[in-house]
């Protein structure tokens, strides 16, 4: 118990002496969020009408004479498809 209390005292003193930062205010957090929030141009991919049905995608691509962007993934990224 004595060792625990001594350890806690050192940790608290270390935080005070090293200039531990106070918790950020709501205003500070809002400013940080505004800086990292994606711009509308960075979210244009969300407007693409993505399809999950390959047959439907092939039919639509052929009808519109467009190429297909196929993104395939599995549970294990190193596993063979």
Q: Quick: pLDDT tens for 38-65.
A: 999 999 989 988 888 999 999 999 999 9
For residue 45, being part of any structural domain is answered with yes
Is the pLDDT at 6 greater than 90, yes or no?
no
For residue 73, being part of any structural domain is answered with no
68 contacts: CB under 8 Å, gap ≥ 6: 57, 58, 61
For residue 33, being part of any structural domain is answered with yes
66 and 75 Cβ atoms separated by less than 8 Å: no
* CA distance linking residue 35 with residue 25, whole number of Å: 16
- Residue 49: predicted pLDDT: 85
- The range of the structural domain enclosing residue 25 comes to 2-64
Counting the structural domains of the chain, the total is 1
Please give the residue that has the higher pLDDT: either 70 or 11: 70
First vs last Cα of the chain: how many Å apart?
Answer: 57
Please compute, for residue 25, the number of CA atoms within 13 A of its CA located in the half-sphere on the CB side: 3
pTM beyond 0.85, yes or no:
no
Is the pLDDT at 67 greater than 60, yes or no?
yes
For residue 75, being part of any structural domain is answered with no
């Amino acid at each position: 118990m004595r060792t625990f209390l001594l350890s806690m005292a050192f940790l608290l003193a270390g935080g005070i002496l090293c200039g531990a930062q106070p918790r950020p205010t709501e205003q500070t957090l809002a400013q940080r969020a505004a800086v990292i929030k994606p711009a509308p141009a960075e979210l244009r991919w969300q407007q693409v009408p993505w399809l999950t049905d390959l047959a439907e995608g092939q039919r639509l691509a052929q009808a519109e004479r467009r190429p297909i962007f196929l993104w395939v993934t599995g549970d294990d990224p190193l596993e063979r498809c």
